[in-house]
């Protein structure tokens, strides 16, 4: 279950992307399949599991809590579920590496257990804010504490029983919503989450709970479930990750002569903001072969080069593309005119401050990029050459790699080891598609 991790990328300028590609399995769905499979009654089988460090850390955490898990072997995992009350006290601190999803979702499950636990992660994760899950969990009766300023590690002590509540989310966040729904599985009474009017967030947790036989009621922005019911084991077919596909969507859009097909990509309607934004910019994107995989909509996507235009991003699309903006910023740098993003404060509390980091890198490459408190203003033009820092953020590293397709000289990207968290075969797949990339 080990993956190859590269420290730096060096990419020669030019090239085009062609062929048929299948990017790795969806990270969000891979995380949730392990969590719900572990809590279910019976044996759950997963196909297409993402064998990246983030997902593997979630898997290891449940193994540490007594869940028997076989694999992954070529994306296949078998989980022998222990039921809703079957987790055991871990003998060690639960380490989730760089995964904010693991940290936040696991905190909801662990807050309801009859044992103590400690959740921690790598240097990047331990500076990320966790108050957004700590505060509502405490309202449910949890005994959970962070370190200074509510940052990891998180220390969780047992309580007699969590209590369901109605929680109006101040900021759209699928991780917070999912944390509270998972806590609600163990709570007395009903747990109700009301999402903000600024936009609905990805609904993978609700869909997968339903797939495991757990009733979830969704009415617009209101999601609710009753606690103390059972989950039933099932088979999960993980589609290819749209967030990983986004880099190739952008690369093919900006590089003349490109024509690629991305296969079996998940297009959950709460995740398709990147497609909508690129189409508004004039991208040549065609979806075909539509079908369902494990309750999730799946398509093949053809992308060809197009002359992109800068746009003002509709704020309703921001939550639907929050993880894809590093790639979208590269598209904006290659577009004609001005690109404006607002309402994306969430980007400042990801693996790094993605607004600041992307602006810094784009400026290094000669792009007119101005960060704002909640977004970015970019005037498209020529991309130069230089060395940029990813700040340990996998999406920033891959975004700047794709920028080389339109660069005037080589681009070097430092601190790329965390690419393995979400896209362990990125270098090989990008090279096969036509990127002039060397990794070391």
Quick check: is 1 in a domain? Answer: no
pLDDT of residue 1: 44
* Closest to 104 in 3D by CA, of 46, 169, 192: 169
* Per-residue pLDDT reduced to its tens digit, 260-294: 999 999 999 888 999 999 999 999 999 999 998 87
Statement to judge: residues 185 and 274 lie in one domain: no
Whether the pTM exceeds 0.95: the reply is: no
Quick check: is 348 in a domain? Answer: yes
* Per-residue pLDDT reduced to its tens digit, 234-262: 999 999 999 999 999 999 999 999 999 99
**222 pLDDT higher than 80:** yes
Quick check: is 3 in a domain? Answer: no
Residue 182 backbone phi and psi in degrees, to 5: -65, -40
Statement to judge: residues 96 and 226 lie in one domain: yes
Statement to judge: residues 181 and 264 lie in one domain: no
Statement to judge: residues 218 and 266 lie in one domain: no
| Look-up of token digits 């991305």 | 262
pLDDT of residue 390: 93
Quick check: is 127 in a domain? Answer: yes
* Per-residue pLDDT reduced to its tens digit, 110-133: 999 999 999 999 988 998 889 999
Query: How far from chain centre, in Å, is Cα 210?
Result: 21
| Look-up of token digits 């339109």 | 406
- How does residue 91 score in pLDDT terms, banded at 50, 70 and 90? very high
Q: What mean pLDDT do residues 377-394 have?
A: 94
| Look-up of token digits 């949730």 | 32
| Look-up of token digits 């990813």 | 390
**H-helix or E-strand spanning residue 207:** helix 204-211
For the sheet with 8-11, list strands across it: 386-389, 411-414, 8-11, 437-439
- How does residue 4 score in pLDDT terms, banded at 50, 70 and 90? low
Which range of residues forms the domain containing residue 146? 27-237
Statement to judge: residues 222 and 138 lie in one domain: yes
Decide which of 334 and 269 is more confident: 334
Just list the catalytic residues. Answer: 323
* Per-residue pLDDT reduced to its tens digit, 182-217: 999 999 999 999 998 766 788 899 999 999 999 999
Statement to judge: residues 20 and 163 lie in one domain: no
Quick check: is 214 in a domain? Answer: yes
Instruction: Give the C-alpha separation, 238 to 27, whole Å.
Output: 9
Statement to judge: residues 208 and 250 lie in one domain: no
pLDDT of residue 3: 57
* Per-residue pLDDT reduced to its tens digit, 129-148: 899 999 999 999 999 999 88
| Angle subtended at Cα 417 by Cα 412 and Cα 422, rounded to the nearest 5 degrees | 110
266-301 burial, b if ≥16 CB within 10 A, otherwise e? Answer: bbbebbbbbbbbbeebbbbbeeeeeeebbebbbbbb
Helices (H), 219-272: 242-254
Quick check: is 72 in a domain? Answer: yes
| Look-up of token digits 């991309």 | 383
* Per-residue pLDDT reduced to its tens digit, 25-79: 999 999 999 999 999 999 999 999 999 889 999 999 999 999 999 999 999 999 9
Number of domains in the chain: 2
The residue among 191, 218, 237 that closes a domain is 237
**375 pLDDT higher than 60:** yes
Q: Are 95 and 85 in contact (CB under 8 A)?
A: no
Statement to judge: residues 149 and 91 lie in one domain: yes
Statement to judge: residues 18 and 32 lie in one domain: no
The residue among 222, 237, 252 that closes a domain is 237
First to last CA, the chain: 21
Residue 290 backbone phi and psi in degrees, to 5: -75, 140
Statement to judge: residues 369 and 422 lie in one domain: yes
Quick check: is 252 in a domain? Answer: yes
Instruction: Give the C-alpha separation, 215 to 230, whole Å.
Output: 10
pLDDT averaged over the chain? Answer: 94
Strands (E), 294-436: 296-304, 338-341, 368-372, 375-379, 386-389, 411-414
Statement to judge: residues 363 and 423 lie in one domain: yes
**153 pLDDT higher than 90:** yes
The tokens describing 427, both together, are 């270098």
**318 pLDDT higher than 70:** yes
pLDDT of residue 24: 92
Quick check: is 2 in a domain? Answer: no
Q: Are 437 and 413 in contact (CB under 8 A)?
A: no
Statement to judge: residues 295 and 399 lie in one domain: yes
Strand, coil or helix: 404: helix
Number of other CB atoms surrounding residue 371 within 10 Å = 22
Residue 196, C-beta contacts closer than 8 angstroms, at least 6 positions apart: 168, 169, 170, 171, 172, 221
**295 pLDDT higher than 90:** no
The residue among 237, 271, 299 that closes a domain is 237
Least confident of 10-19, 99-108, 166-175, 407-416: 166-175
CATH number of the domain within which 61 lies: 3.65.10.10
């Amino acid at each position: 279950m080990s993956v190859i991790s590269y420290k730096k990328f060096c990419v020669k300028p030019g090239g085009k992307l062609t062929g048929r590609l299948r990017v790795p399995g969806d990270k969000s769905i891979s995380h949730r399949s392990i969590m719900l499979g572990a809590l279910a009654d019976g044996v759950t089988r997963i196909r297409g599991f993402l064998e990246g460090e983030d997902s593997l850390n979630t898997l290891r955490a449940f193994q540490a809590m007594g869940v028997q898990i076989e694999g992954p072997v070529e994306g296949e995992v078998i989980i022998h579920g222990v039921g809703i009350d079957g987790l055991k006290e871990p003998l060690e601190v639960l380490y989730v590496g760089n995964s904010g999803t693991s940290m936040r979702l696991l905190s909801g499950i662990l807050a309801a257990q009859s044992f103590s636990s400690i959740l921690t992660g790598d240097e990047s994760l331990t500076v990320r804010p966790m108050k957004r899950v700590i505060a509502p969990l405490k309202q449910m009766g949890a005994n959970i504490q962070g370190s200074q300023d509510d940052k990891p590690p998180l220390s969780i002590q047992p309580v007699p029983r969590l209590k369901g509540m109605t929680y109006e989310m101040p900021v759209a966040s699928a991780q917070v919503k999912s944390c509270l729904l998972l806590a609600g599985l163990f709570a007395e009474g009903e747990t109700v989450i009301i999402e903000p009017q600024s936009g609905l967030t990805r609904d993978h947790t609700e869909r997968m709970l339903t797939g495991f036989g757990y009733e979830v009621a969704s009415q617009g922005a209101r999601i609710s479930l009753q606690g103390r019911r059972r989950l039933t084991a099932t088979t999960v077919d993980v589609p290819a990750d749209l967030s990983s596909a986004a880099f190739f969507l952008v690369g093919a859009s900006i590089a003349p002569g490109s024509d690629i097909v991305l296969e079996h990509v998940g297009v959950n309607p709460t995740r398709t903001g990147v497609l909508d934004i690129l189409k508004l910019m004039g991208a040549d994107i065609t979806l075909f072969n539509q079908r369902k995989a494990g309750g999730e909509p799946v398509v093949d996507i053809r992308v060809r080069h197009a002359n992109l235009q800068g746009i003002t991003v509709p704020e309703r699309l921001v939550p639907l593309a929050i993880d894809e903006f590093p790639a979208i910023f590269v598209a904006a740098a290659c577009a004609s005119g001005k690109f404006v993003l607002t309402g994306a404060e969430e980007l400042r509390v990801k693996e790094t401050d993605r607004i600041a980091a992307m602006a810094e890198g784009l400026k290094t490459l000669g792009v007119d990029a101005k960060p704002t408190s909640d977004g970015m203003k970019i005037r498209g033009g020529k991309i130069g050459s230089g060395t940029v820092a990813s700040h340990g953020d996998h999406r920033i590293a891959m975004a700047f790699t794709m920028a080389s397709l339109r660069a005037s000289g080589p681009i070097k990207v430092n601190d790329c080891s965390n690419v393995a968290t979400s896209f362990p075969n990125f270098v090989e797949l990008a090279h096969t598609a036509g990127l002039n990339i060397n990794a070391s």
